[in-house]
Chain A
């Protein structure tokens, strides 16, 4: 979080984290497409020639003045592929909140578990207490067959108690609800600084 009292701006960073191909970029693309053009910046994607995220995707949402402060949300995705582990950690730096995008398919359960483990370790390495970081779980691809029940997914990811949204990112279902929830959790966490 960064507050500029001269310009009365509050900047907050939200990161979409998760295993490869779980739908992080698709989620951000949907958010970008549904944000009013006056309120959004460009969607920037650093990707490979195969269209996979290489470094991060980024967009900014700027809201109108609230109580004399102008909130800006800087939203990132991390690259999900295993060998970009170090890059994921770099993108998490300075995060105020995280949305974990899980792939609901049964065959991806282990990848989700490993990604959650990486996320908690990365947060710890960066000086955060992973238990205190505002978090939202996005169970994506709920339209596919052979998906893990949400209760099982939450249990295996040790995310009982974390606000959870069943999403179909490619259609946008549930995506904005998840984003609004993480924004509110981030603001609640930081309200003592306001």
Chain B
């Protein structure tokens, strides 16, 4: 992922469809697809507390740490899933091909087996899409870079103004 990623609308539509299907089947609160550096790619549903970007950043840290932990014990392909079971809400993380993370946030009454079953199916479909992900890297677009840079300066001034 060090070269960056740019996903066109068509591919995003396929991703959203997979996540939407997963949410309907599991009736989970929120599903997030992020890349391994912690950037949110897509979100379905909503979070009552917290924000998807913060959850994605923390999940990326968690997945990276778990990957290193499993390497330390001699596991060659640390691309699995793990979850935290809470009193009210639980969270399920699945590392997809070492490049993406599926994050499922669900209520305690939802059976983990159900989440695990449908999440694995979604992961298989998302894994197939990763080939398309790679093909669209560096796709050019019509954005005027000079306009973008001058707009960026203006926006940064506003973001850090005391008003």
Contacts and interface: CB of A to CB of B under 8 A. Distances in A.
Interface of A: 1-7, 11, 13, 34-36, 39-42, 44, 46, 55-56, 58, 60-61, 63-64, 66-69, 71-72, 74, 76, 86-87, 90-91, 93-96, 126-128, 176, 180, 183-184, 187-188, 190-194
Contacts, number: 151
Given A42-B54, A74-B39, 14 more contacts: A3-B5, A4-B12, A11-B40, A36-B158, A40-B159, A46-B61, A55-B65, A56-B61, A66-B152, A68-B143, A74-B57, A93-B36, A187-B152, A193-B4
5 contacts: A6-B16, A42-B50, A42-B54, A67-B148, A194-B143
B64 A90 contact: yes
What range describes how many residues of B lie at the interface?
35 or more
A91 B4 contact: no
B79 to A, nearest CB: 15
Contact of A58 (B7, B13, B54, B148): B54
Contact of A74 (B8, B38, B42, B156): B38
Contacts of A184: 149, 152-153
B158 A64 contact: yes
